[in-house]
Structure 1
Amino acid sequence: MIRSYIKIAWRSLKTNRLFSIVNILGLSIGLATTLVLFLFILHERSFDSMYANKDKIYRVLLNTTEDDLETWTGSPSAVALELEANIPDIAEAGRLLKHDFGGTAFIKASNEVFTEKKLFWSDASVLDMFDVEIVKGEGSEVLKTPNTVLLSESTAKRYFGNENPIGKTLTIDDVDVVEVRGIFKDFPENSSLDFNVVAPFLMQNAAKNPTWDNASFETFLRFNSASPNVANVEAKIQDILDKNVKKDDQWYNFSLQPLEEIHLYSSTYKDSYIERNGDINQIRNLTALAILILIIACINYMNLITARSQKRATDVGINKTLGASVRDIIVRFYIETGLITAIAMILGGVLAVVALPVFNDIAGKELDISSLFSIEIIIFLVLIWFVTSLISGSYPALYLSRFSPKEVLKPSTNKGGVASVIRKGLVVVQFSASVVLIIGVIVIHQQLEYIQNKSLGYNPENVMAISTSAIRGGQANQALVNAFKKLPNVSVVGRSQGYPGMGVSGRSINKPNTDETMGISTNTSEREVADVLQLKLLAGQLLPKNKQAGDTLVEVVVNKTTVDFLGLSPEEAIGKKVAMQLGNNAYIHGVVEDFNFASLHNPIGAYAFHNSNREPKSYLLIRFTNEVLSETISNFENTFKNIAPNSAFEYTFLDKNLELLYEKEQRTANVGLLFSILAVIVACLGLFGLAAYMAEQRHKEIGIRKVFGASVPRIVQLLSMDFMRLVLISLVISFPLAFYFMNQWLQDFAYRVTISWTVFAIAGALALMITFVTVGYQAVKAAVANPIKSLRTE
């Protein structure tokens, strides 16, 4: 019997080629989309699952308790030692510090200088708790000895080629000479932890003098058992904090984050050294999008089947007359649906293989095609095939199987009123979803364009930042500044700790005669940096050009937000002493207009340039005239190499660096655009099939109207208006939904566009145009057909 049903289903597919092609193509696009997105979601959720201690590892988070409440991934260097010593539940604790607090290291190996962005200083316990696999030489015990280092396999090959790296020496930033003592296996792509070079944390000052103030160290804990009582442990951590830090000085508290949440639940946390961060909201949105596209494809199938219900009803009636039961009819329709879905599944798999490289490029991922053939994907395909067949075939099977032979075989054919209402309702659902996606894409692109064009309060164009962290000595740095000043297309040069768009030192500033404090970003700088950035001076002067040796006075140039917090005007602030953890002799020397030194996700905070020597000036900022860029880069590199031959030339352009701050949003926009187009295509396939069927059903009516003089435009209008009305209803439903969802998304930005009526007008016009083009093709085809052929049938 089953074999017979399969043959009947196959004949039905061949007999109704147009509807079969539309169904299969729509389902295959929906399945391919779902498959690619599932592969991405599976990859994102697999992070850190390879570690044996994954259920026992937690990261210490620091939560600020003053002003803007933030969560930092770093904690003070003393935390790991105190927690391990005083909380019995903790088996071991370890600290990680990225080189130069996130800066690039310059490593000399075999007389060649390499730039290294993944050099970490680590406690030996971190390697133990994360099961770092040693493939050659010694393991984690190396990190208990100073001036040693471990390299990843790929890094060892990059530094030394095919030579044995064990026993070789490296020079870090032209200062630290370390010996290679071991090689570890590269971290997998789905590991949050990822470093190329790891050196002993004990070589850092923070290890020699652990404190409770500088929260720059990521701290990991391994508990004795899985799923510890987190609330109880956090209470003990607070007790330890109370014993070591006075209540008046506690501007933070601690919490614990399980390893399994680090990848997807850390996107809003500050200053993480872990770069492979995902976003749980993106996963949820893409999951909803995949389900939505699949549902739209299933709706297409149900619509086309119910649209053809009158023809199928006659078939059902004859089968019932010949003795077929309701169960037989249901099984038959499910087998037909399963066959179509199976064919669509195969085609969808092929499309997924073709589309995966495109998705990787758009989403910035490295998903492997071989992953499509994993056991998880195969199980997922079987499950999707079953669910899709069940959803797509449910209404046709249950609806058509109820037809009475007496009703469907008599001449007064059933008009299918209920089926028509359901069919129209499904079309409205399809296009409501499509219009929401269209509006979402438009709003996201408007916001990104707004960010790119917004005045930042400084000018990032034609500014290059060159890392000088490997250049030691004031004379060498000054020689470099002088050399660049002599270049013809250089207008101004200055040295600083950092630049807008990157993190600098975080401190707090106290409001005089109150307990109020505010977080402030401080940047050790030279006078010329303000000119490089073209900041607007509101009062006072820029930093002094020269500072005498032994001078303990610290001049500070702050932004307007800082003096607003202090309750002063820019003019009143000049000469005022400030308490901002720069010593007791810090005075405001000048005030500049506010500028966006961080992402536009956040409002402008307090910022200060100062001439204290507490932090090194690791960057050379250069403003140059706009000439041939390739020649400018070449000239700058040659100048740099002449002064610092033992350091690699690493640079960034400030405007390009700013684009990286919104890379996630840009990729979200691109992915959203791609899948919105696919959703609209799938919806249009359904409209195309419905329009073709409606034109076929009304061919006699069209013929009669043409005989009586109806024009082609009038017939096109007649056939199109029903669909246009449905789309108009979908617009009424989708507009408020889209406004709500996109308004929620925009809340993540401190500076954002206003959703205007033009967005809805554009989306509505696009939806109507797409509908008219899709339906109009079939309408014109029917309208220009010879009426004699239409009237000659039967």
Structure 2
Amino acid sequence: MFKNHIKIAWRSLKMDKMFSVLNILGLSIGLTIAILLFSFITFEKSYDTQYKNNKDIYRVLVNTTGDAFDKEIMATAPAAVAPALKSELPTVKHAARMLQHSFGETAFIKANNSNFLEKRLFWCDQELFSIFETEFVKGNAASALSRPNTVVLSVSAAKKYFGEQDPMGKTIKVDDKTELEVTGVYVDYAKNSTIDANLIASFNTTYFYKEPSWGNSSFETYVQLKENTSKSSLKNQIQQIIDKNIDKEGQWYTLSLQPLDQVHLYSKDYTNSYTSRPGNISEIKNLSFLALLILLIACVNYMNLMTARSQKRAKDVGINKTLGASSKNLIARFYAETGLLTLIALCIGVLLSVAIIPVFNTLTDGNLEFSFLLKPDFILGMFLVWLITTLVAGSYPAFYLSGFSPSSILKPANRMVGNSVIRKALVVLQFTASVVLIVGVLVVYQQLEFMKNKDLGYTPQNVVAVSTAAIKTYNNKHALAEEVKRVSSVLEVGLAQGFPGMEVSGRTIHKNDQDENGKGIQTNVSDASVLDVLQLKLLAGKKLPNLKQEGDTLVDVVLNKKAIDYLGYTPEEAIGKKVDMQLGDGATIIGVVDDFNFESLHKPVGAYAFHNNNYEPKSYLLVRFNSVSVTNTMQQLEAAYAKVSPDSSFDYTFLDKNMEQLYAQDRKIAKVGLLFCLLAIFVACLGLFGLAAFTAEQRKKEIGVRKVLGASVLGITQMLSADFLKLVIVSLLVAFPVAYILMQKWLQEFAYRIDIGWLVFFIAGMCAVIIALITVSFQAIKAATANPIKSLRTE
């Protein structure tokens, strides 16, 4: 019996090729998206599962208290935390710290008489390899970093720095000052690992190993608990350790433990995370919803297209029932047809998925590989997708068509079969989803354009930040600045600790002695000319002095208006006032600049200070240049750099490009949203096409009579199209409020955002109407131009 069902299903598919192609096309698109998203979600959820002790591994989080840091959660902890937890908590089996080189700056590596740039160098405790099992191909994981001035390389890094030579025992030089001996080579961490270091150097080498602080929260810290240890039971014990080491007045944070299986997907809002592979659980949820939505639309298309053929299938069903076929047999037959068609669509979907994996990886910053499609979990998942799609897509046609009464079907007067309300409701649902996606894409792109064109309070265009981390002395850095000033296209030059768009030093500014909590402030040690390089607006006072006498302990600061507002001064009143902001014995306000967006527009403007306390290094040379010849300017800057520091590589960042990186996630959402939108509209059009075909088939006798009585092709086309236009209007009425609510919620993530205007809805509505009319007109014109004699002679 099953074999007969398959044969009949195959004949049915061949008999009406157009409908079969439309069904397969719609389902193939839906299944392709489902396959890709299923793979992506599975991969994202697989992060760090390769570590056998992953259930016992936790990352230490710092939860700030009071108003100073606006209640943020940091993914990094003070250097003193790891050794304290290991020594004072018996349930902690291992504890390890990670410090990204120079708090995230690029490392200049000299190896094998060549210069390199390295962004993934970390200074780590030896116990890191006990927490995260790391496979060594050379050296011993248990002792490779036990001594200071040692380093281990990944296999790819070893090949990069030493080629085919054995790197063991050789040395590399970091930032032209620290020599490290290579004591091991490890297998590259997997693409689904939070730990993604290329070089791991001994933490013993750093200043922080000898003088661990409870204040500087810059060290990503992991602990491995002993088996069956309850995380909740440690909360009070950890607080006791803090109370023991920090006075109550100085406790600006509490500590908590984040399970390793949450680190990748649940850390979007945490600051200071080291990983270069951040995940986002909201993105997973949104993509899952969109994939299911498109797959559902594809299933609805199948239902509509199958019922559009109901007139042709009705006699077949009636005859089969008259000859003794039961409803159960007919249901099995229709499900067999659906299953065969879905299987064909699934095979096409898998092939399409393989073909577009590179494009998908580009859009989502994913790491999917072709081999992932061969894993047992994926194959099982695809079987479930096929089964569920078959059951959902085949349900309505199977039960609807098999339920026809043979007596009513075979009576000419009762050929008009079907529940049009359900079909129309499904089409409304399809277009509602499509319109919501259209509105969503338009709003996202408007917000991105708004951020791109918003006045940031400074001018990042035509400014380049040249890293000076490898230049040892201030005199050499000053010599570099003088060399750069000789370049004809250079307008302004200044040395600074950092630049807008990157983290500098976080401190706390206090109004007075009674202000215990204070307010968080970003501080940037810089030259006087940096304000001119950034083109900041000076509201009162003056810039930092050009020169500072050696041994001068007085600190001058230029604050932004946000900081001045917190202190309760006007810009003019603030000049000459002392301010407590953890810069030695006190600082004097000598200038006030207007507010500027030194972070992304997701966040409101915070307090910011430029100062001349030379405790922190000036790691960047900021250069403003004219845009006549960027290539020629960069070549001259590189030549100037090579003249001052010939033993290190030239590393630079354009400020406008760096700011764009802050919105990479938003642009990714826009690209993926546009892709889903186009696919959803296309699949929805297939459903509308199916309903138009159904209507034309049901009304062909009426159309024939109207043509005989003199109706024009245009008149009949307008009559048929008007019915579908009503469905589109209904979908717009439903979609607009839904889209408005969803996009307002998305916009809440931005401190600076657009207002959703009527134009967005007008454009989305017009797009939906035009697309619907084009889709329907094809079937309407076909029905209107058909020979009326053929439709009238059927009786």
Q: Tell me if both proteins adopt one fold, taking TM over 0.5 as the criterion.
A: yes
Map of 2:208 onto structure 1: 206
Map of 2:247 onto structure 1: 246
Residues in 1 aligned to 2:620 and 2:34: alpha-carbon distance in whole angstroms: 46
Residues in 2 aligned to 1:687 and 1:706: alpha-carbon distance in whole angstroms: 24
Residues in 2 aligned to 1:147 and 1:204: alpha-carbon distance in whole angstroms: 9
Residues in 1 aligned to 2:518 and 2:159: alpha-carbon distance in whole angstroms: 50
**How far did 1:617 drift?**
0.4
1:113 to 115, 121, 139: 115
Residues in 2 aligned to 1:177 and 1:708: alpha-carbon distance in whole angstroms: 96
Map of 1:493 onto structure 2: 493
Matching residue's letter, 1:458: Y
Residues in 2 aligned to 1:407 and 1:707: alpha-carbon distance in whole angstroms: 28
Residues in 1 aligned to 2:357 and 2:112: alpha-carbon distance in whole angstroms: 40
Residues in 1 aligned to 2:755 and 2:503: alpha-carbon distance in whole angstroms: 29
1:159 to 142, 158, 161: 161
Query: Deviations along 1:266-321, whole A, 9 cap, x unmatched?
Result: 11111111121110000000001111010000000111222333433332222121
Contact 2:308 2:697 in 1 (8 A): no
Residues in 1 aligned to 2:353 and 2:81: alpha-carbon distance in whole angstroms: 48
Map of 2:593 onto structure 1: 592
Contact 2:9 2:340 in 1 (8 A): yes
Q: Which SS does the other structure have where 1:600 is aligned?
A: coil
1:174 to 144, 169, 176: 176
Contact 1:47 1:192 in 2 (8 A): yes
Matching residue's letter, 2:12: S
Map of 1:466 onto structure 2: 466
1:598-617 aligned within 5 A: 598-617=599-618
Map of 1:215 onto structure 2: 217
Map of 1:432 onto structure 2: 432
Contact 1:458 1:534 in 2 (8 A): yes
Map of 1:480 onto structure 2: 480
Q: Is the counterpart of residue 24 in structure 1 residue 24 in structure 2?
A: yes
Residues in 2 aligned to 1:585 and 1:190: alpha-carbon distance in whole angstroms: 47
Q: Which SS does the other structure have where 1:55 is aligned?
A: helix
Map of 1:15 onto structure 2: 15
Map of 1:324 onto structure 2: 325
Map of 1:543 onto structure 2: 544
Map of 1:84 onto structure 2: 86
Map of 1:453 onto structure 2: 453
Task: Please say which of residues 9-18 and 560-569 is displaced more in the overlay.
Answer: 9-18
RMSD: 1.3
Q: Which SS does the other structure have where 2:78 is aligned?
A: coil
Q: Is the counterpart of residue 93 in structure 1 residue 95 in structure 2?
A: yes
Contact 1:18 1:689 in 2 (8 A): no
Q: Which SS does the other structure have where 1:715 is aligned?
A: helix
Q: Which SS does the other structure have where 1:238 is aligned?
A: helix
Residues in 1 aligned to 2:97 and 2:371: alpha-carbon distance in whole angstroms: 36
Query: Deviations along 1:205-236, whole A, 9 cap, x unmatched?
Result: 1111111110001110000015x322221221
Q: Which SS does the other structure have where 2:59 is aligned?
A: strand
Residues in 2 aligned to 1:534 and 1:482: alpha-carbon distance in whole angstroms: 20
Contact 1:310 1:413 in 2 (8 A): no
Q: Is the counterpart of residue 37 in structure 1 residue 37 in structure 2?
A: yes
Contact 2:86 2:94 in 1 (8 A): yes
Map of 1:528 onto structure 2: 529
Q: Which SS does the other structure have where 1:416 is aligned?
A: coil
**How far did 1:13 drift?**
1.1
Residues in 2 aligned to 1:558 and 1:6: alpha-carbon distance in whole angstroms: 77
Residues in 2 aligned to 1:105 and 1:455: alpha-carbon distance in whole angstroms: 33
1:687-706 aligned within 5 A: 687-706=688-707
**How far did 1:413 drift?**
1.0
Residues in 2 aligned to 1:32 and 1:373: alpha-carbon distance in whole angstroms: 16
Map of 2:295 onto structure 1: 294
Map of 1:367 onto structure 2: 368
Q: Which SS does the other structure have where 2:430 is aligned?
A: helix
Residues in 2 aligned to 1:283 and 1:438: alpha-carbon distance in whole angstroms: 20
Unpaired stretches in structure 1, ≥5 consecutive residues: none
Map of 2:420 onto structure 1: 420
Q: Which SS does the other structure have where 2:508 is aligned?
A: strand
Task: Please say which of residues 487-496 and 8-17 is displaced more in the overlay.
Answer: 8-17
Contact 1:192 1:263 in 2 (8 A): yes
The number of residue pairs the alignment matches comes to 792
Query: Deviations along 1:149-205, whole A, 9 cap, x unmatched?
Result: 101110011011111111111111011111111101101110000101111111111
Residues in 1 aligned to 2:338 and 2:567: alpha-carbon distance in whole angstroms: 71
Contact 1:542 1:557 in 2 (8 A): yes
Residues in 1 aligned to 2:514 and 2:771: alpha-carbon distance in whole angstroms: 63
Residues in 1 aligned to 2:141 and 2:178: alpha-carbon distance in whole angstroms: 21
Residues in 1 aligned to 2:352 and 2:693: alpha-carbon distance in whole angstroms: 26
Map of 2:761 onto structure 1: 760
Residues in 1 aligned to 2:310 and 2:511: alpha-carbon distance in whole angstroms: 77
Map of 2:725 onto structure 1: 724
Matching residue's letter, 1:191: S
Matching residue's letter, 1:164: D
Contact 2:101 2:107 in 1 (8 A): yes
Matching residue's letter, 2:751: A
Contact 2:307 2:694 in 1 (8 A): no
**How far did 1:140 drift?**
4.1
**How far did 1:789 drift?**
4.3
**How far did 1:513 drift?**
4.4
Residues in 2 aligned to 1:401 and 1:514: alpha-carbon distance in whole angstroms: 81
Q: Which SS does the other structure have where 2:55 is aligned?
A: coil
Residues in 1 aligned to 2:468 and 2:567: alpha-carbon distance in whole angstroms: 35
Residues in 2 aligned to 1:284 and 1:308: alpha-carbon distance in whole angstroms: 36
Q: Which SS does the other structure have where 1:327 is aligned?
A: helix
Query: Deviations along 1:539-565, whole A, 9 cap, x unmatched?
Result: 111111000000000101110000100
Residues in 2 aligned to 1:485 and 1:210: alpha-carbon distance in whole angstroms: 41
Q: Which SS does the other structure have where 1:142 is aligned?
A: coil
Query: Deviations along 1:478-536, whole A, 9 cap, x unmatched?
Result: 11010001111101100001000001011111111432410000111111111000000
Residues in 2 aligned to 1:325 and 1:694: alpha-carbon distance in whole angstroms: 29
Matching residue's letter, 1:148: T
TM-score (norm 2): 0.98
**How far did 1:401 drift?**
2.3
Map of 1:148 onto structure 2: 150
Residues in 1 aligned to 2:636 and 2:366: alpha-carbon distance in whole angstroms: 35
1:66-85 aligned within 5 A: 66-67=66-67, 68-85=70-87
Map of 1:46 onto structure 2: 46
Residues in 2 aligned to 1:217 and 1:575: alpha-carbon distance in whole angstroms: 37
Map of 1:303 onto structure 2: 304
**How far did 1:411 drift?**
2.3
Query: Deviations along 1:424-447, whole A, 9 cap, x unmatched?
Result: 111111111111111111111111
Map of 1:750 onto structure 2: 751
Contact 1:120 1:195 in 2 (8 A): yes
Matching residue's letter, 1:176: T
Q: Which SS does the other structure have where 1:181 is aligned?
A: strand
Residues in 1 aligned to 2:703 and 2:283: alpha-carbon distance in whole angstroms: 49
Contact 1:334 1:397 in 2 (8 A): yes
Query: Deviations along 1:618-667, whole A, 9 cap, x unmatched?
Result: 00000001112211111111111111101100001000000000001101
Unpaired stretches in structure 2, ≥5 consecutive residues: none
Q: Which SS does the other structure have where 2:218 is aligned?
A: coil
TM-score (norm 1): 0.98
Matching residue's letter, 1:211: S
The percent identity for this pair of structures is 55
Q: Which SS does the other structure have where 1:685 is aligned?
A: helix
Contact 1:75 1:215 in 2 (8 A): yes
**How far did 1:237 drift?**
0.8
